[in-house]
Amino acid sequence: MRFPGSTGSSKENRHALVMGIVLVILSLFLFRLLSIQILDNEYSELAQQNAIRRVDAYAPRGIIFDRNGHKIVVNRPIYDLMVVPSELPKPLDTLELASLIRISPLELSKRLIKAKNYSLFRPSLLHAQIRVEDFAPIQERLHDFSGIYAETRTVRTYLYPYAAHLLGYVGEASPELIEKSNGEYRPGDYVGVSGLEKTYENYLKGKRGVQYRYVDVRNREVGRYKNGVFDSLPIPGEDLHLGLDIELQVYAEKLMANKRGSVVAIEPSTGEILTMVSAPGYDPTLLVGNVRGHNYRKLQQDPLNPLFNRPLQAMYPPGSIVKSLQALVGQELNLIHPETRFPCGGGYAIAGHTVKCTHKHVALNLEESIQHSCNPYYCYVFKTVVDQNHGRRPREGYQIWYEYMKKFNLGRKCEVDLPNERKGIIPSPNYYDKIYGKNRWKSSTIISLAIGQGEFGITPLQMAHTMAIFANKGYYHRPHLVRSIGVTGQKKMKYREKFHIPIKPDNFRVVQDAMQKVVDAGTATAYGKIDSIIVCGKTGTAQNPQGKDHAVFVCFAPRENPRIAIAVLVENAGFGGVWAAPVASLMIEKYLKNSTKRHDLEQRLLKSRILPEGTDTIPTPTL
Amino acid sequence: MTGMREQKSVFQFIDKPLLWTYIALTLIGWIAIYAAVYNPQHQNLWDIQQNYGKQMIWILSSWLIMMILLSVHPRVYHHSGPLVYLVTMALGLTVAFLGREVNGARAWFEIGSFKLQPAEFMKLSTAMMVGYFFANQPIRMDRFSSQIMAGVWLFIPATLLLLQKDTGSALVYASFILVYYREGLSVNYLIYGLAIGLLSVLTLWLSMKTMWMVIPVLLVLYIVLAADSRKAFFNGIKLAVPAMALVSGVGYAFDHILLEHQKQRILVLLGKVDDLRGAGYNVHQSLIAIGSGGFWGKGFLQGTQTKFDFVPAQSTDFIFCTIAEEYGFWGSTVLLALFGFLLYRIFLIAERQPSAFGRVYGYSVGCIIFIHITINIGMTLGLLPVIGIPLPMISYGGSSLWSFTAMIAILLRLDTGRMLGIR
Ligand SMILES: [Zn+2]
């Protein structure tokens, strides 16, 4: 072959051959396209006639059990109708379709237009959350409406119409969450909004799967695409096993019927919450499915504020129950001992006003002071603690007292496994510095703290938690609801941790003696005492500037190897011994002995109504 | 750099059909990428978090690159081949060891969120280097020594790319056989090439051991049946020995050099393995998407197969799929015609270059673009194994768009220089 340079005779031939190769390849492509796009229907059939439908397989959320293995929250299937507008029959009988799914023809055409605007070829939601019983007739007729198909999902079912506040509810994922989640959540997905559903969302939600199905021209699903090799099964959410005793919960909610307030019961040895009542409550089923919005608004407008989660969010002055704490601190600091006596005289007079006592006591010792809830006694104790350096540096004394309160988780969150817990209020020394000026305040300025009043706020959860610490003589686990998660069966690390309060068990013993007498022969005798069970308790009255005082009773039982610590708060019920103590007492009996013989007491509580005037009475529950 | 007056004449004499075709292709690419990654939740056209937003930046910046390269004096291009070649090959070597690994290939430099792929620029520099080589050396492609030297320029980048585990890009350099053919390489090499290809396919299809038996049997038959057995024996041996060597080489390479996923892709393509979940899945889904497009297509943003993410790498390697689904046979034909016209124009311009550099460079650019189109669309249509290389001007990706832009810009500038009488 001759050298074919730029001037060679074969230059044109070579150019032509290169172009020829290009042409051959491009023509080959063109024929291939002609074959698969026009002549051969195999592929277009695969895509159109035997449409492949992608159906999301939603993961059922984890099931919630109580401590005895009773199911509390389960799932129930529902159906979402989806529409692919391009696959709809032409003409479409909109009247018939509307009547089939029970919406107005106008609403139907609105939804269809919305779907078309979104995409002709991609599925849109046509009608959400059809119950199984309503779906059967729809399913029978679905083959007349090609392009419409159902996706199965599950919604929550609550087996008890109680415990709504702690269980919480699920709602549709918000656009912000979807945006943030990086594909984890899609429009229409459910997400825990409150309560345990929110705290344990990551465990409960599971993982969505997907199924590809062949659908024939008559809108029938004829099988799985490629025998399901691309399908992925949904992974159900992990189950939660609670420390909650659902029967005790139900019992407590019934006892609290037609009252406002809280009940919190904790197993002292583990910190597991046995009961957590916020009264008035509501049926959690009200917030399931497409009625949620409507019901939520109704609950919001209720003057009794049933959505307010009182055990975690309501703060009350602790009243007399703080006296037991004072007794501990005073002893631990060696400032008082069991035989220390302070005069009562019916009141404790300080600059200008008097802290009154309920009775005019003789000079009581420590045990008697708790038993009879003597106010002046604890003003002296508080003064002794705060002014321990001969009144020269009250800030330091108060700092010590304040630190002890913090150790009991007062003024500090218990870190329970529920959202929106409040930490309560105990003013810090800095706070008083700001209000009164540095070195311008002393024990007498803040004496109301001594008897649990003034700027002192604690939640019912903190009350019960304090009782658990008393029962344990100084140690605790953070209070929590979930005792084991999923297959691992573990609880969260932070709830396995054990904490110790730097107070000697002996000092607890003295206070326990006194609290036992409170129930056996003191302020809570009438309704608190139970045969054959030693209960230690303390009554309290939480001051309420808006109206009648709130009744408080805290206790634990039995004294040896305590199994339950309870705080009961009944709003506007006055003295703690009358309304709060019997609730706690009946619950202890129910929990430890499974039944009560005190049916009269039971009936009195069930029928009583302690609510502000002008609010509706809820029908009396039966046991 | 040229003055204002000359700048003006550059645009006066520029080959407008090629320029417009290039611009049209970049815009078609953008629309296709938009459709491929379209998500009703993100409808902002300029969202630079999304591929289409980024691609718009790539397109605008590549137009800027085009303007800059068009204002450089052609002499610079004539002489800068070796330097550019050296720099890009050094980058290629560096990235093979220090680069960031994506999908098994260590082919990217990462500077912040910006990723640079030296492989794309190695193509450009090889075109310039080969052009420089032909312009400055007494080359005769019918001579073995020249062939060897010409081969070296391709061997270096191909080796570096295999080192980066970027087989697709390495394959691009095979297209230079057409450049060399144009420069005098015997047509026999094309025939050999074709024969080698066929024999390789046969080997993989029938297995190496079968071929070891088939070739001697054919040889014996040939000798026995031939009129002149003696002559046939020598001729036959001359064919059979290299054939046996090739078969063994291909068999060995398949068993010991190719990676598992590459083997799988080839076996699926040959119909030996029916693996619709693994390697065959992409192509099968691609074909369903294309097939469902029909004649007119489904329309902008109405592709169904894409919605389900059936087709992978929709905005990069399988972008043709989106176009074929949404615009059907009609749209695909228009795109193929545009590519055909682009190549026609490039080879035409190459032919009319008075300098050897301009001609060889032009052919190189044309052949590089041509093999990209061939491999990419061939893969999408299920005619070639799945090899990830971009569809020129269409696929998402800054490096490749910049590189193809530079290739075309330099060719346009050389051509304008010719018109202005500058050499
Ligand atoms: Zn008193």
Q: What is the pLDDT of residues A178-195, one digit of tens each?
A: 777 777 887 778 899 999
Report which residue type is found at B129. Answer: M
Of B291, B295, B302, Cβ closest to residue A121: B302
In chain A, residues with a C-beta closer than 8 Å to the C-beta of B333 are: 30, 33
CA distance B42 to B36: 13
Q: Which of A542, A541, A515 is nearest to A529 (CA)?
A: A515
Q: How far is the CA of B44 from the centre of ligand 1 (A)?
A: 74
**Phi, psi at A565, each rounded to 5°:** -120, 130
Q: Give CA separation, A155 vs A61, A82, A470, B184, B329, in Å.
A: 8, 17, 42, 75, 46
Q: What is the pLDDT of residues B30-74, one digit of tens each?
A: 888 887 766 554 445 555 566 777 888 889 999 999 999 998 988
Of B40, B276, B374, Cβ closest to residue A25: B374
**CATH class as words, domain A246-482+496-607:** alpha beta
Query: What does pTM read for this prediction?
Result: 0.62
| B95, B108 contact by CB (below 8 A) | yes
Q: Do A46 and B292 touch (CB under 8 A)?
A: yes
Q: How far is CA B329 from the centre of its chain?
A: 23
Of A3, A18, A54, Cβ closest to residue B184: A3
Checking if the pLDDT of A584 tops 60, the result is yes
B308 touches chain A (CB under 8 A): yes
Q: What is the pLDDT of residues B195-218, one digit of tens each?
A: 888 888 888 777 787 888 888 888
Of B142, B292, B343, Cβ closest to residue A47: B292
Domain A60-87+111-242 bears CATH identifier 3.90.1310.10:
yes
> Strands A564-570 and A261-267, how do they pair?
antiparallel
B173 touches chain A (CB under 8 A): no
B137 touches chain A (CB under 8 A): no
Does residue B287 or residue B330 have the better pLDDT? B330
| A8, B184 contact by CB (below 8 A) | yes
Number of domains observed in the structure of chain B: 1
Tell me, what's the pLDDT at B96? 84
| B44 within domain boundaries | yes
Q: In the predicted model, what is the mean pLDDT of residues B376-389?
A: 85
DSSP assignment string, A176-208: HHHHHTTTSS-TT-EEE-SHHHHHTHHHHS-B-
Q: In the predicted model, what is the mean pLDDT of residues A462-477?
A: 95
In chain A, residues with a C-beta closer than 8 Å to the C-beta of B342 are: none
How many residue contacts between A and B have a Cβ separation below 8 Å?
126
Does residue B415 or residue B302 have the better pLDDT? B415
The alpha carbon of residue A606 is apart from the nearest alpha carbon of chain B, in Å, by 53
Q: Do B295 and A38 touch (CB under 8 A)?
A: yes
Checking if the pLDDT of A214 tops 50, the result is yes
Tell me, what's the pLDDT at A238? 93
Optimal mutation site among B49, B144, B182, interface A, most CBs of chain A within 10 A:
B182
Predicted confidence band of residue B2 (pLDDT cuts 50, 70, 90)? very low
For residue B187, give the chain A residue with the closest CA. Answer: A14
A399 C-beta neighbours (distance < 10 Å), count: 15
Q: How far is the CA of A362 from the centre of ligand 1 (A)?
A: 7
A58-91 residues labelled b (16+ CB within 10 A) or e (exposed): bbbbbbbbbbeeeebbebeebbbbbbbbbbbeee
Checking if the pLDDT of A352 tops 70, the result is no
Predicted confidence band of residue B404 (pLDDT cuts 50, 70, 90)? very high
The alpha carbon of residue A608 is apart from the nearest alpha carbon of chain B, in Å, by 55
Tokens coding A518: 């409170």
Predicted confidence band of residue B311 (pLDDT cuts 50, 70, 90)? low
Of A19, A29, A38, Cβ closest to residue B336: A29
CA distance A588 to A557: 7
Predicted confidence band of residue A143 (pLDDT cuts 50, 70, 90)? confident
For residue B294, give the chain A residue with the closest CA. Answer: A37
Q: How far is the CA of A346 from the centre of ligand 1 (A)?
A: 6
Classify the complex by whether its ipTM is higher than 0.85, answering yes or no.
yes
Select, from the ranges A263-267, A339-343, B69-73, the one with the highest average predicted confidence (pLDDT): A263-267
| A451, A381 contact by CB (below 8 A) | no
Task: Compute the mean pLDDT over every residue in chain A, rounded to the nearest whole number.
Answer: 85
B290 touches chain A (CB under 8 A): yes
CA distance B167 to B160: 10
Please give the residue range of the domain that contains residue B348.
28-143+260-419
In chain A, residues with a C-beta closer than 8 Å to the C-beta of B371 are: none
CA distance B275 to B266: 11
Q: How far is the CA of A364 from the centre of ligand 1 (A)?
A: 8
Q: How far is the CA of A471 from the centre of ligand 1 (A)?
A: 26
Q: How far is the CA of A361 from the centre of ligand 1 (A)?
A: 5
Residue intervals in chain A for CATH 3.40.710.10: 246-482+496-607
| A512, A559 contact by CB (below 8 A) | yes
Per-residue DSSP letter, B14: S
Tell me, what's the pLDDT at B42? 46
For residue A44, give the chain B residue with the closest CA. Answer: B292
Report which residue type is found at A546. Answer: Q
In chain B, residues with a C-beta closer than 8 Å to the C-beta of A47 are: 288-289, 291-292, 304-305
Q: Do B142 and A1 touch (CB under 8 A)?
A: yes
User: Which residues 369-408 of chain B have a CB within 8 Å of chain A?
Assistant: 370, 373-374, 377-378, 381, 383
Tokens coding A505: 């068990």
Predicted confidence band of residue A7 (pLDDT cuts 50, 70, 90)? very low
Q: What is the pLDDT of residues B95-150, one digit of tens each?
A: 888 877 766 667 777 776 667 888 889 999 999 999 999 998 888 888 888 888 88
In chain B, residues with a C-beta closer than 8 Å to the C-beta of A231 are: none
Report which residue type is found at A570. Answer: V
Q: How far is the CA of A505 from the centre of ligand 1 (A)?
A: 27
Of A11, A14, A22, Cβ closest to residue B340: A22
The alpha carbon of residue A28 is apart from the nearest alpha carbon of chain B, in Å, by 9
Residue A608, helix vs strand vs coil:
coil
Tokens coding B290: 């294309």
| A569, A543 contact by CB (below 8 A) | no
Predicted confidence band of residue B7 (pLDDT cuts 50, 70, 90)? low
For residue A40, give the chain B residue with the closest CA. Answer: B291
Of A17, A32, A43, Cβ closest to residue B288: A43
| B185 within domain boundaries | no
Q: Which of A196, A197, A177 is nearest to A185 (CA)?
A: A177
Alpha helices in A72-153 (DSSP H): 94-101, 105-118, 132-141
Q: How many residues are present in chain B?
A: 423
B307 touches chain A (CB under 8 A): yes
Q: How many residues are present in chain A?
A: 623
| B323 within domain boundaries | yes
The alpha carbon of residue A149 is apart from the nearest alpha carbon of chain B, in Å, by 17
Checking if the pLDDT of B168 tops 60, the result is yes
Q: What percent of chain A has pLDDT over 70?
A: 90
Of B140, B182, B293, Cβ closest to residue A37: B293
Tell me, what's the pLDDT at A6? 40
Tell me, what's the pLDDT at A27? 93
> Strands A64-65 and B105-111, how do they pair?
unpaired
CA distance A549 to A539: 13
Does residue A261 or residue B260 have the better pLDDT? A261
| B243 within domain boundaries | no
| B172 within domain boundaries | no
Least confident residue range of A8-17, A424-433, A461-470: A8-17
Q: Is the dihedral of CA A559, A563, A567, A568 positive or negative?
A: negative
Predicted confidence band of residue A615 (pLDDT cuts 50, 70, 90)? low
For residue B138, give the chain A residue with the closest CA. Answer: A5
Checking if the pLDDT of B94 tops 50, the result is yes
Give Dmax over CA atoms of chain A in angstroms.
Answer: 133
Q: In the predicted model, what is the mean pLDDT of residues A297-309?
A: 89
Per-residue DSSP letter, A233: -
The alpha carbon of residue B234 is apart from the nearest alpha carbon of chain A, in Å, by 24
Tell me, what's the pLDDT at A3? 40
Tokens coding B77: 């291009």
Of A28, A37, A42, Cβ closest to residue B294: A37
Does residue B275 or residue A440 have the better pLDDT? A440
**Phi, psi at A17, each rounded to 5°:** -65, -40
Does residue B316 or residue A265 have the better pLDDT? A265
